[in-house]
Structure 1
Amino acid sequence: MTTSASGGPAGFRRALVRDPRRLVAILLWSVLEAAPAFLVGHAVARAIEDGFARARPLTGLAWLAALGLAWLVSAVGARQVVLAVAAVAEPFRDDLLTRVVEGALRRPLAERPDSAATARAGLQVELARDAFAAVVTTVRGFAFTLVSVVLGLLTLAPGTLVLVLPPFAAGLAFFLASLPALARRQRAFLLADEELARSMTATAAGLRDIEACGLAEREDARLARRVGAQRDAARALARVTAVRTAALAVGGWLPVVLLLAGTPWLLDGGAGPGVIVGALAYVTQSLAPALGGLVQGLGVSGVRLVATLRRIAAAAPPPPPSPPAIRPSGADLTLRSVTFSYGPHSAPVLDRLDLTVPEGDHLAVVGPSGAGKSTLAALLSGILRPGEGEALIGGVPADRADPAARVLIPQEAYVFRGTLRDNLAYLVPEATGLDAAVAALGAAGLVESLGGYDAVLDPAALSAGQRQLLALVRAHLTPAPLLILDEATCHLDPAAEALAENALAARHGTLIVVAHRLTSALRARRVLLMDGPRITIGTHDELIRVSPLYADLAGHWQPEPVS
């Protein structure tokens, strides 16, 4: 676990230093938050020795008021620390969620987790985010408190360090040594809990069959074993967790006993009663609570974080590195014996399909609903890979072709929140000729109504047709030699569709149009008719003569008048 997505050491460092300003903010606010940890001993000692012991109550109260003011400042610092840590934890959560989603999407369909497993993975990501924030907050607070207490004791009564630091270090070391065992027990508990949940879900779904087949006793025994395994894992975790109490006793409260036992020695060394009470305040009000927070934070949140990250890593292993993209030598398309289905037991959508589309061709793809037109578009663009055979763009496997070599526009066009200029030119950031592309696609009126290129778009406020028109302008701007429109004009009126298709066909390169209207087939140079696994290709007039299906489609799919 060394990647940022898995949350290992490299992932922690990446999350913390991704934005150095946030890390600096955490450190600076932590100084304010730790102010009472440094001041508490001095304030109590001075309030006693310079104030109340000398019958100067106002002086004593002034020192205590200063300590109270330090607590107010600390509260402000603590609030800002929480906000700063949250700003670090959210990108960490996003990395984990990206890992889970990418791992699920890269798996074959047959191996993808069910919805319950996906929900558990999402819950684990949220738990990891919360645990990460708790660990960062706890460890940071402990470190600043420890430094403050050591500086406070060093400046108040250096001799007390001999009584305080050795047992404190022993308790801390004892706790840290127990963390690996805690992590193992926590992981075992999580596994047992998940297995019990999985078994209960399966049993609940099959209660009717279990009762009908007389398997109730066997199923009851199986669930009892799962419950017993979870109980045993919980008990083992509780036994190891008890180590935390012992570590806190040694590191947090043994120093108090040693300070009290060493009081005569400290008095002989010149320390006054106020100094001894101040040293006790350092231990009881700052050091012991800080150690308790660390024990609780690492012993619960830290162990949970490690166990959860391991579960996420096991459920979503890092995807294999993608092979480098290859720039095709042209925009011709070739399918050789391509077979594709959406599952190992599903009928093939395409079966041993051969197809050649020369560079510069304008091909319309037609056929009844469910014939596989969108599947063909996805194979030609490289989004899907053939189960058998190969799909090539310019002699290069479509899924390995340089993304800049083709553009696929689906039926639901993608528009993001941002300026109109950014939406139109994001495939080619340095694009010029926006006005020419907008005019060619007949989108000048839309641009004007939206407020110009620098207007900020709200995708939800755009109609489906407006989003499609913007996507078509975006495609026209790119130098990609292959454009694939998968019913990308279905929300446009016939006149706008004709203008858009003619403008895109006039570009250099190859145009594939999954037709929504017959007029798209009439404008194309060739027409590909899909009828299940079979295809027929030719001009419109040729298909009318040789294909009864196409003739029937043409009879029912009347071209709409274009004004």
Structure 2
Amino acid sequence: MTTVGEVTRAALRSRRSELYRLAGWSLAEALPAMLAGLLTARAVDDGFLAGRPVAGLLWLGLLALAVLVGAVGTNRTFALLGDVVEPFRDDLLHRVVTGALTGAAGGRGDDAAVARLTHQVEMVRDTYAGLLMVVRGFLFTAAAALVGLVSLAAPVALLVAVPMLVGLGLFVAALPAMIARQRQYVLADEELGRVAVTAVTGHRDVTVSGAQDRVTGWVGAHVDAQARVERRLATMAVTRGLTLAVGGWVPVPVVLLATPWLVRQGLGPGAVLGALVYVVSGVQPALHTLVQGVAAGGLRFAVTLDRLLRASVPARPATTAARVPLPTPGTTAPALSLRGVTFRYGPHADPVLDGFGLDVPVGDHLVIVGASGIGKSTLAGLVAGVLRPQAGTVHLGGVRVADATPAELAGRRVLIPQEAYVFTGTVRENLTYLRPDLPDETITRAATRLGLAGLLARLGGHDATLCPADLSAGERQQLALLRAWLSPASLVILDEATCHLDPATEARWEEAFADRPGTLVVIAHRISSALRARRVLLLDGHTALVDSHAGLLARSAAYRDLVGYGEPAQVRSSPTRGRSAPLPAAYARRSSP
């Protein structure tokens, strides 16, 4: 498992340049902490006590200038913080969403993923930022104060450093207990989220069965458990108080008690006052910020991030089968092959596909038809690798989809769903993100060939910025279709991707993709798509029939009903070149898309 330390170190290493700039401005921020006591001592001993008030004011003026420099440093450190923190948050979101989607596709729903995405990721982001600033502030401020003390009087630095280190030691010794209690709090919070989702989603059944009191008590018990864990966590404030007392406050009476000895060593009153300034304005605030920050934010960061990594990183599927190699040129592997595929939405749902098999040769034009909700889009998702079957295998050009990397899949198939995806960015970025190296000339030629030159001109050309909300559904679909045309994939899957276009435009697009080198699979929005196909796959809830349009008219009453024909007398002599694969009766009853 990837550990918290590994992930944190990797995140920091990836932002080295930003951290170097952060350190540079932190030095500027720490300048007042390093000079405060020394300049105060000079102002008192060499200025006011020496009868030279103007010199004393000049020393204090230098301190004011250092404070201004420190304020600029503080401003710049906060400005740089987002450059370090936000990429880390984006990585966590990717982990959580990928893990949740992978689990859902495999039939493993995870209600706690909502709590991780909406609460825990933001908690980690905030505590990561706070922890970074706290540790950075302590290191630079405490170091600056100790450097100032050494320059003022080395014995005073020793008197301050020893109790500070003792206080830090007490805090470090208490950290394991703090982490354990923080982990209990996170787990209790996650369990409460899971219970709440279960109770809310089942509220109708609860009401019908009259189990309101029982469910209320069940949820209330988890609320009480979380409250108990939070109270135990609050008791760790005693440890924090002891650390601050020893490390931050003990140096003050120690320096005061040592004042006669320090004066005998030649230290002036101003130097003693400067030493106290270092303790009160440097060491104390730095230690207080570190202890409070680590105790409050650092523990939440470590425990919550550990939980996210354990729960959200999808495990690599265990498989004993050897990875299918890429086919060599000249082989005749089908463009698409399904063998014994079974898929259901959830472990207790009826199967959408049960032992399903299909071969689509290279260069084929296959249209999939069937009643609404029969499983056409599910089949498209399985072919594209968006969904994973519970049994059986799916191959694209001889490559097993379950074993292929995202880059391999992107190079072999492109799926355009019913709701076309267009993002805020330039026209060029929208059309070429599947093939970033594509020159503008190729885009222009393709748009002209496909009848989209006018649309691109109306949008403002390749460098125009698109706003998805400003485009019609049909415009978004045509941009997505052009993107698919320009992609390197040899298999194109159109899942009702032309539903917002008129029939003539739809026919033009399907004919264009049929002429494009490669293989075309169309989830039909209109039955007219079947008239343009080489083969038609009919899903009718009991059998899966593959044949030509004329062949299905002769063989299948369900297909004739879809087309709107009556008895097939006019096509009774048509050849039947397909095959059928039996499906369970439950297949006709499922309600998932």
TM-score by length of 2: 0.85
* Mean Cα deviation higher: 68-77 or 269-278: 68-77
2:336 is aligned with 1:327: no
- Spell out the pairing of 1:42-441 with structure 2 (5 A cutoff): 42-108=38-104, 110-114=107-111, 118-195=114-191, 229-230=225-226, 232-320=228-316, 326-328=325-327, 330-401=333-404, 402-403=408-409, 404-431=411-438, 433-441=442-450
Shift of 1:161: 1.8
| 1:15-47 C-alpha deviation (Å, 9 max, x unpaired) | 223233311221111111111101110121112
Count of aligned pairs: 551
Q: CA 1:442/1:327 → structure 2, altered by over 3 Å: closer, same or farther?
A: farther
2:469 is aligned with 1:460: yes
Q: CA 1:213/1:406 → structure 2, altered by over 3 Å: closer, same or farther?
A: closer
Contact 2:96–2:116 (CA under 8 A) maintained in structure 1 = no
Partners of 2:413 and 2:277 in 1: CA distance: 71
Contact 1:337–1:351 (CA under 8 A) maintained in structure 2 = yes
Shift of 1:455: 2.4
Contact 2:252–2:276 (CA under 8 A) maintained in structure 1 = yes
Partners of 1:424 and 1:509 in 2: CA distance: 19
- Spell out the pairing of 1:28-43 with structure 2 (5 A cutoff): 28-43=24-39
Contact 1:490–1:516 (CA under 8 A) maintained in structure 2 = yes
Q: 1:524 matched to which residue of 2?
A: 533
Cα RMSD of the aligned pairs, angstroms, is: 2.9
Q: Match of 1:136, as an amino acid? A: L
Shift of 1:196: 5.5
Contact 1:382–1:400 (CA under 8 A) maintained in structure 2 = no
- The DSSP-based 3-state class of the residue aligned with 1:349 is strand
Contact 2:324–2:400 (CA under 8 A) maintained in structure 1 = no
- Spell out the pairing of 1:478-497 with structure 2 (5 A cutoff): 478-497=487-506
Q: CA 1:410/1:556 → structure 2, altered by over 3 Å: closer, same or farther?
A: farther
Contact 1:26–1:84 (CA under 8 A) maintained in structure 2 = yes
Identity of aligned residues (%): 49
Contact 1:49–1:274 (CA under 8 A) maintained in structure 2 = yes
Shift of 1:218: 11
Shift of 1:531: 0.8
Q: Match of 2:501, as an amino acid? A: L
Partners of 1:160 and 1:325 in 2: CA distance: 71
Contact 1:331–1:482 (CA under 8 A) maintained in structure 2 = no
Partners of 2:14 and 2:403 in 1: CA distance: 31
Contact 2:535–2:547 (CA under 8 A) maintained in structure 1 = yes
Shift of 1:322: 9.3
Contact 1:331–1:510 (CA under 8 A) maintained in structure 2 = no
Q: Match of 2:153, as an amino acid? A: A
Partners of 1:15 and 1:233 in 2: CA distance: 31
Q: Match of 1:546, as an amino acid? A: R
2:538 is aligned with 1:541: no
Partners of 1:216 and 1:277 in 2: CA distance: 67
Shift of 1:193: 4.7
Shift of 1:360: 1.4
Runs of 4+ in 1 over 6 A off after TM superposition: 200-208, 210-215, 222-225, 321-325
Partners of 1:159 and 1:35 in 2: CA distance: 22
Shift of 1:217: 8.9
Contact 2:339–2:393 (CA under 8 A) maintained in structure 1 = yes
Shift of 1:210: 9.7
Partners of 1:125 and 1:227 in 2: CA distance: 22
Contact 1:384–1:399 (CA under 8 A) maintained in structure 2 = no
Q: CA 1:232/1:425 → structure 2, altered by over 3 Å: closer, same or farther?
A: closer
Shift of 1:296: 0.7
- Spell out the pairing of 1:4-43 with structure 2 (5 A cutoff): 8-43=4-39
Q: Match of 1:327, as an amino acid? A: L
Q: Match of 1:296, as an amino acid? A: Q
Q: CA 1:475/1:193 → structure 2, altered by over 3 Å: closer, same or farther?
A: closer
Partners of 1:521 and 1:211 in 2: CA distance: 47
| 1:390-445 C-alpha deviation (Å, 9 max, x unpaired) | 33323332343531112221112222233222322222223353233222211111
| 1:36-76 C-alpha deviation (Å, 9 max, x unpaired) | 10111012111211222123333323322332332232222
Partners of 1:464 and 1:481 in 2: CA distance: 26
| 1:195-224 C-alpha deviation (Å, 9 max, x unpaired) | 56666776787799699879959975x778
Contact 1:526–1:537 (CA under 8 A) maintained in structure 2 = yes
Shift of 1:242: 0.9
TM-score by length of 1: 0.89
Q: CA 1:231/1:348 → structure 2, altered by over 3 Å: closer, same or farther?
A: closer
Unpaired stretches in structure 2, ≥5 consecutive residues: 567-593
